[in-house]
Structure 1
């Protein structure tokens, strides 16, 4: 270099991508890493939560279940971890021309001042963040505004279809039952009088019903009943009660006491089942009917509680009661006064709108749960029974606020699906089954979206089962009520009625209809056996043929029926029973 020449300043070679794009890519990588870390943390929490929910499973079964759950989730939603970083990258890519323009303006200003340019990295980063804020605001505000409008619109529709559907409204509208008329109190007293460690014989697990118990089972039943005479005496008083206030109360876990009511219902069922079975053996048929009425009182003890579990237990006990009353007719001839009383009680239970109560209960509970979780009010610990153990999940609450939109979406779906399902219940019963199938198909279509809502996994199928269960309950109670009326008609006229219409109004003033087709129940009198039956889910007359394995598959042998025999044949057949 010759003397007098100045040293040229270093030439800044621009990157092919540009500094702005380079920073954008770095931010994209950081966001992607954050997404992966967040997903891993959430998966770990899911695993810990599931492990805590299943303490009774063996380690091998638990590991297999969790592995299958996680693999299914990744197989169905591989885009969960990829889409947020890609969207962020698109935003930064669109902002790149603005960043380049500002960068050139800064370089021109520096050259004019004849000073070496300084890489304005912090400025570009600040501009990128400031430019991103409007997008983040719109990405949160617009969906939140749309969800709020969506929830408000469907809430107005629900207010018309099912007034008082919100959980707090359902609780406020519960029937006020005086203590002297409360079957819930009697059921609780009966359980309290059971000996410590008492275990009844669960006849529902003893196989198919026959007219007589085998000797080993009968011996076990007798031992369990003899060990609890005071509890049995109190439980049989349930036959005199027509309503109850239920067992559960609202708390940190929405409903508290649900686990206890399962144990109480099972204990009383085993107690009354055992006494009825021994009464059948002894030929005391009036006692069998009285035990059936007591089971019906136990069902009514759950009242109109807005709890899906409470309503499921009520349905189970009511059908059990009808089965024992039918079995008394298979064995012999109970007194006419008891048959009249049993028929009135069964028809009263038959008219109870259990499907509407159950769907409203599930809607109110789930809606309130998603609201509480999204607003950080919900207690995981109390809901899974871990609040006292110190093994809860409440320490992870910091993860919930970012998921507010997620839970808001679930609330909107819950309201829309439930409103459509409640609209089905306004149709004739005979339309329920097909309409519920079509509803389940529509609701399940959301599973094909790139983000699957949690509700899509089980909610549609479970809600449809509620409708199917209601049809089964009304058919089962309806045929027993008609059978009792037909028995009373036979005792007065000397012959079985040839149709339901032939039964006099004095014996059946309010005729129940077959819920599957909206017509009268079928009756047949063949080979000394009188049968009342519904056509069942497949809507085909199969002359009362019923198979537990095939039922609910809409194939064959799904007629729901009840039967009795001619007086001379009673006690000889092995058919009939709860």
Structure 2
């Protein structure tokens, strides 16, 4: 069959249109790719410009802000007085089974009585067995009395989230040893040992020093809270414990800018993490989780400079807030604007919530420490005058240089005389002020409780009867 002249005439025209269509598609793809590449480069360049400006801003405000410079400028204790050096020695001397007995259900509800109530005999007996097995560790821990500061070098992991702080975390173990040593010293009537171990317990917290990470400072706050708790217990069980040196140490520690230490360090560590992400030392997946293996996953890297600049500026605003007096820090943090609603700014978007969580712990524990300072002054007043002060202003200047301020209000801490004793308290984060009680229920606000002499060292409640096996 032969093509007609008409068919032979139109076929070349069809091929020309097909070629034009293919060329148009190819050209469109090339243009799309070029547009994506240009957009990618524009995002990256805009981010780099913002990052350069952000780094210049923070350098003007804080010249030693980078991880290397910040750590080089940290204070170091005199030789032989570094509390941090003792922590690994204490850990090594502690029996591996330490604390396991108290994890059993039989002790669960009896390890935190009111401070003026004695521990049950079987609890004390178990504590004696545990301390006897770790006697060398306890002797080492008591040496912290003479080491009020500490310093350790922190080696950041490439992915800074994975940085190990083993020795810092072991400070909790040291605090556990010392709190039971305080308890048993009081039981034994060894007031000198109880006083030494109380100061060593506070100095266990201070051994963390100005470690520039939030985890470190949270451990320091937690151990300081234990020291405050057992100071309260010591006064409720043995009012003859020497107080002047302990009050001075607590007063100094209560004013340590722990939030500032942590925020400056986290800013520097976060910037190091961004640097490792941008250079490929740390895969993006390690921080953000699995990323799509396509164009959008590739685009994530273009947004890192802008994310880094945003994080740096937000953390710098947090640092400036942390430099303020305690009662001004919450409003300053609240005034920091939210980051732009950009799904690519993933890391910087989480910075402020982290700082706020640590700040809440800092304000609470600082209020606790300030209440303890005033509570000790109240006890010293009572020992001298055989009564509680009528108001906290009566403590000035003989027992306090001034009444400390409540971190939540900027007003002086509050004081209440009750039927069974007295309490110094803060209004707390909810501003309710329900810390002005001696019971164990209304304890949402920071406080320091003191009992009248006839209400101290109350006997332990009877041990709970063992549960009977149900009849077959």
Q: TM-score, normalised by structure 1?
A: 0.69
Native 8 Å contact 1:200 1:267 kept in 2: no
Going from structure 1 to structure 2, the CA distance change for 1:452 and 1:144 (only over 3 Å counts) comes to closer
How far 1:315 sits from its partner (Å)?
Answer: 0.8
Which of 548, 551, 566 is equivalent to 2:452?
A: 566
Greater Cα offset, 285-294 or 527-536: 285-294
The alignment partner of 1:159 has SS state of helix
Match of 1:187 in 2: 87
Match of 1:174 in 2: 74
Greater Cα offset, 270-279 or 252-261: 252-261
How far 1:329 sits from its partner (Å)?
Answer: 0.7
How far 1:222 sits from its partner (Å)?
Answer: 1.8
Match of 1:516 in 2: 408
1:529 aligns with 2:421: yes
Structure 1 unaligned regions, length at least 5: 15-105, 108-116, 384-392, 551-556
The alignment partner of 2:156 has SS state of strand
Going from structure 1 to structure 2, the CA distance change for 1:147 and 1:358 (only over 3 Å counts) comes to same
Partner Cα separation in structure 2 for residue 523 and residue 340 of structure 1: 21
Structure with the greater alpha carbon radius of gyration:
1
Going from structure 1 to structure 2, the CA distance change for 1:437 and 1:5 (only over 3 Å counts) comes to closer
Going from structure 1 to structure 2, the CA distance change for 1:543 and 1:197 (only over 3 Å counts) comes to closer
Going from structure 1 to structure 2, the CA distance change for 1:379 and 1:259 (only over 3 Å counts) comes to farther
1:500 aligns with 2:400: no
Match of 1:8 in 2: 8
1:406 aligns with 2:299: no
Partner Cα separation in structure 2 for residue 560 and residue 493 of structure 1: 26
| Pairing of 1:131-170 with structure 2 (within 5 A) | 131-132=31-32, 134-170=34-70
How far 1:293 sits from its partner (Å)?
Answer: 1.3
1:350 aligns with 2:254: yes
How far 1:284 sits from its partner (Å)?
Answer: 3.5
Partner Cα separation in structure 2 for residue 349 and residue 214 of structure 1: 32
Native 8 Å contact 1:186 1:235 kept in 2: yes
Partner Cα separation in structure 1 for residue 299 and residue 75 of structure 2: 39
RMSD: 3.7
Partner Cα separation in structure 1 for residue 45 and residue 118 of structure 2: 65
Map Cα deviations across residues 332-386 of structure 1 (whole Å, 9 max, x no partner): 2234xx3111011111111110011111222222221122112112379999xxx
Which of 267, 275, 278 is equivalent to 1:371?
A: 275
Map Cα deviations across residues 23-75 of structure 1 (whole Å, 9 max, x no partner): xxxxxxxxxxxxxxxxxxxxxxxxxxxxxxxxxxxxxxxxxxxxxxxxxxxxx
Map Cα deviations across residues 388-438 of structure 1 (whole Å, 9 max, x no partner): xxxxx9xx9xx9875322332331231232233233334443233344345
Stretches (4+) displaced over 6 A: 1-7, 379-383, 546-550
1:271 aligns with 2:177: yes
Partner Cα separation in structure 1 for residue 439 and residue 321 of structure 2: 28
Q: Which protein, 1 or 2, shows the higher relative CO under an 8 Å CA cutoff with sep ≥ 6?
A: 2
| Pairing of 1:296-335 with structure 2 (within 5 A) | 296-335=202-241
Native 8 Å contact 1:157 1:419 kept in 2: no
Partner Cα separation in structure 1 for residue 75 and residue 7 of structure 2: 96
Partner Cα separation in structure 2 for residue 546 and residue 438 of structure 1: 36
How far 1:311 sits from its partner (Å)?
Answer: 0.9
Partner Cα separation in structure 1 for residue 450 and residue 439 of structure 2: 18
Which of 124, 140, 159 is equivalent to 1:218?
A: 124
Greater Cα offset, 341-350 or 415-424: 415-424
Partner Cα separation in structure 1 for residue 361 and residue 166 of structure 2: 23
Going from structure 1 to structure 2, the CA distance change for 1:124 and 1:166 (only over 3 Å counts) comes to same
Going from structure 1 to structure 2, the CA distance change for 1:263 and 1:202 (only over 3 Å counts) comes to farther
Structure 2 unaligned regions, length at least 5: 462-472
Match of 1:470 in 2: 362
Going from structure 1 to structure 2, the CA distance change for 1:425 and 1:7 (only over 3 Å counts) comes to closer
How far 1:483 sits from its partner (Å)?
Answer: 1.1
How far 1:120 sits from its partner (Å)?
Answer: 6.0
Match of 2:326 in 1: 429
Going from structure 1 to structure 2, the CA distance change for 1:151 and 1:468 (only over 3 Å counts) comes to same
Which of 347, 360, 377 is equivalent to 1:485?
A: 377
Going from structure 1 to structure 2, the CA distance change for 1:425 and 1:237 (only over 3 Å counts) comes to same
How far 1:565 sits from its partner (Å)?
Answer: 2.1
1:227 aligns with 2:124: no
Partner Cα separation in structure 1 for residue 321 and residue 421 of structure 2: 37
Going from structure 1 to structure 2, the CA distance change for 1:192 and 1:400 (only over 3 Å counts) comes to farther
